[in-house]
A and B are shown apart, each in its own frame.
Chain A
Amino acid sequence: MKKVLFAVLVTAVVLFAAGCGAKQASSSGPTTRLLTDATGIDDKSFNAAAWRGIVSFYGDTLDKTANRGKLYDVVTAQTQDMYVPNLKQAADEKYDLIIVTGFTWANALNEVAPKYPNQKFMIVDVDWVNQPNVMQVTFTEHEGSYLVGVAAALKAKADGIKNPKFGFIGGIPGPIITKFEVGYVQGILSVIPGAKVLDYYANDWGKPELAKAQAKNWYDSGVYVIYSAAGGTGNGTIAQAKEYRTQSKNVWAIGVDSDQYADGIYAEGKSAVLTSMLKRVETASKVALDAVKAKTFKAQVVVLDTKGDGVGFSSANAELGKDIVAQVEAARKDIIDGKVKVLATYAEAKAAGKVPAGLQASDK
C-alpha cells in the first residue's frame, strides 16, 4: 500500500513539475522548436541558417544561447523515420511555432499537420504542403545565382580571359537545383553573350571526389569559374580551386547557400571562393516568428526574393574588386526594380532564348 501511495505521489510531483515547465515556457513570448534532418544545426547551410535566425530573434548569440531550453530549442532527427514522431512530440508539447527545413520533411508534415489543427508550422523550401496551419517559405535562388553568374563573368572580363568558359556542378537534378543553374547561366550570358557553359550533375550530395575530378578536368580545359550547388559534393570543387590557385593558376570556385569564403582560404587573406550565392534561411525563421508574435500568422507561401533580402551574393573576397561589386549591386537593383526578370525553369529560359539547349537541368 505504501509503495502504491509513493508511486502515485511521485507521478503527481513529476506531472506537476512538467506542467509548470510548460507554462513557464509559454508565458514570455512565442516558443519555437526547430526540427532538422540528420545533418543538424552545424551543416553550414540550411539548418545552421534557420537556427541563426531563431537565436537572433530572441536576442541571443550563437555563443550565448541564454533562452535556449526556455523559449526555443532544436531536435535533430537521425533518420527519416523519426520525422513524424518528432513532429508529433513537438506538437504535443505545444510550442507556438514548429519550424522544419527542407523538402524531405514535406510528407511527414503533410501527415501530422491535419492532426494538430491549432498548431502552427513553418517549412522552408517547399510550396506544396497546403495545410491551413502551415506557412511555407521559398527562395528565388535563380536571382541569387544570376548575381553570382554576373560576378563570375565580370571577373573573367576584368582579368582579360579570352573566350572564358564557365562550369556548373549540381547535386541531384530537380526543379530546385535547376533554379540555381538557369539563374547562373542567365547571369553569365547577360554579361558575355554566347559564353560557353558546361554542366555536370554528381547525383549525390556527398561525393566531393566526383566534383574534384570534374573540376580538374574542366579547369585543365580552360574553364575559369565553377559554381557548385551540390551540398558536400561542392567541397571537391573548392579543394581543386585551392590547389590550382596555390600553383598560380587563375581559376575560381563559387560557394552556395551560405558564405563559403572561409572554406576557400588557402593562404593568409586569399580565398579560392570568388563569391557565394547567399540564401538567407535565417530571414525565413524571422518572418515566421514575427508573424506569430504579431498574431498575423497565415497559411501562405512566402517567397523571399532579392527585394526581401532572401537571396544575395557575398562580397567577402577582396579580389572580386570594388568595380565588380558595384556592377553586381547594380544588377541586384535591376532585379529589385523589375528591370531584369530572371526565369526560374529551364523550359521558360530556353524558350526565351536566355539559356542554350543541351544543358542537363531538369524541371521535373
Chain B
Amino acid sequence: MNELLGMIPSVLMMVSPILIAAMGGMISERAGIVNIALEGLMGIGAFTAATTHVLLGGEFQATVWVALGTALVAGALISLIHAYASVSLNADQVVSGTGINLLAMGSTVFLAQIIFHQERTEPYKLGMLPGPGGIYATAYIALAVLAASWYVLYRRPFGLRLRACGEHPAAAAAAGIDVRKVRYIAVLVSGALAGLAGACLVLTQTIQYTMYTINGAGFIALAAVSFGRWLPKGVAGAALLFGSAVALAIYMVNIQALRVLPPEFFSVMPYLITIVTLVLFSGKDYAPRAAGQPFEKSGS
C-alpha cells in the first residue's frame, strides 16, 4: 500500500504536463481552432526551458522558474505562426499544425547544434526539485491552469464569447464579437500553455532536451481534449486516468505473480485502459461545432 501511495508523486509528475497542454488545446478548440501543433509547441517549450536553465548554470531553483517563463513566451511566439495561418489566412488548420510539429523537431535540434555543438542540450545539474511529499510544483501549476481555464471559460464574459466563436462564429460576429481577435488570443494561450507544459516535462522527467523528449505527450494531450469532451473536468479526468494507468503498469511489473505476462503487456496496458474507457463513455458528438473551420467574413 505504501508503495502505491509512493507512486502518487510519479503520477502527478507525468500527468501535469499533459494536463497543462490539454487545457491549452481545449481552449483553442473551444474557440474553433484545432491545435494539432501541441506536440511541436511542447518541444519548443522543452528546448527553451532546458537551454535557459543550462545557460543560467543549471543548478538553481530560481532559474527553473525563469526557464518556465521563457518556455511560455516561446510557445506563444511560435503559435503565432499557427494563428496567422489558420485565422488570418484561413489555411487548413491540420496542415499548419503539422508544419509546426515538423518545424519544432528540426529547429530545436538545429539550435542545439549552434548553441551546444551537439544535437541535444547539455544536461543540467538539477532540474526542478520536488517539494513536500515528493510532489513537484508542476502539479500545482497544472491545478492553477485548470482552475483558471474553468473560471475564464464559464464565469467570464470573454469565455462565453470564446465558446460562441467555436460553436457558431457567424452568429458571434453578428453579435459584435471580433471572432478573429478571440481566436488569435485562444491560439496564443494554447501555445503558451503547451510551451509551459514542455518545460514542466523536461525539468521534472529527464536531464536534458533531446529530439525524443516529448515523444508523443502532445498527442496524448490532444486525445485527452476529445476524450474529456472539451470540458475542463473531463480533460483533467482523462489526463489523470492515463497517468495513473502508466504508473499502475510500472508498479505492477514488480509483482512477482504477474511476471508470467510478457513485458509488452505492461506497456500496452495504459493505452488499453484508455481505449476501453473511451468506448464505455462514448456518446454523442461533443466537439465544438465550428472547430477546424476557418471563419470568413461574408459580404465585405
Contacts and interface: CB of A to CB of B under 8 A. Distances in A.
Interface string B3-22: 10011011001100000000
Interface string A204-227: 111111101110111011000000
Contacts of B251: 217
Contacts of B125: 242, 265-267
B3 A243 contact: no
Nearest to B212: A206
B296 interface: no
Contacts of A265: 123, 125
Contact of A42 (B119, B123, B247): B119
A229 interface: no
B120 interface: yes
Given A203-B263, A232-B212, A360-B263, A243 B126 contact: yes
B207 A242 contact: yes
Contacts of B127: 239, 243
Contacts of B129: 243, 246-247
A263 interface: yes
Interface string B61-99: 000000000000000000000000000000000000000
A173 B59 CA distance: 35
Contacts of A57: none
A144 interface: no
Interface string A226-253: 0000001001101100110011000000
Contacts of B285: none
Interface stretch (A112-120, A151-159, A194-202, A303-311): A194-202
A213 B7 contact: yes
A358 interface: yes
Contacts of A40: 119
B9 A216 contact: yes
Interface stretch (B137-145, B163-171, B226-234, B253-261): B253-261
Contacts of B256: 358
B210 interface: yes
A212 B3 contact: no
Given A198-B254, A201-B263, A243-B126, A212 B212 contact: no
Contact of B246 (A201, A210, A232): A210
A14 interface: no
Contacts of A236: 205-206
Contacts of B250: 200, 210, 213-214, 217
B208 interface: yes
A239 B211 CA distance: 18
Contacts of A266: 59, 125-126
Contacts of A208: 205-207, 213
Contacts of A198: 254
B13 A212 contact: yes
Nearest to B112: A42
Contacts of A67: none
Contacts of A232: 206, 210, 212
A39 interface: yes
A38 B7 CA distance: 34
A221 B119 contact: no
A42 B3 CA distance: 38
Given A207-B215, A232-B210, A213 B14 contact: yes
A238 B207 CA distance: 8
A341 to B, nearest CB: 28
Contacts of A42: 118-120
A358 B258 CA distance: 10
Nearest to B7: A217
Contacts of A44: 118, 120
Q: Interface centre among A38, A198, A209, A265, by most B CB within 10 Å? A: A209
Given A263-B123, A266-B126, A212 B10 contact: yes
A220 B215 CA distance: 27
Given A232-B206, A246-B126, 20 more contacts: A39-B211, A40-B119, A42-B118, A42-B120, A200-B253, A203-B263, A203-B264, A206-B210, A206-B212, A208-B205, A210-B246, A212-B13, A213-B10, A213-B250, A214-B253, A216-B6, A217-B7, A217-B10, A266-B59, A358-B256
Interface of A: 38-40, 42-44, 173, 198, 200-210, 212-214, 216-218, 220-221, 232, 235-236, 238-239, 242-243, 246-247, 262-263, 265-267, 358, 360, 362
14 contacts: A39-B119, A40-B119, A43-B119, A200-B253, A208-B206, A212-B10, A213-B13, A213-B14, A213-B250, A217-B6, A217-B7, A232-B206, A236-B206, A239-B207
Shortest beta-carbon contacts, A-B, top 4: A206-B212, A213-B10, A203-B267, A208-B206
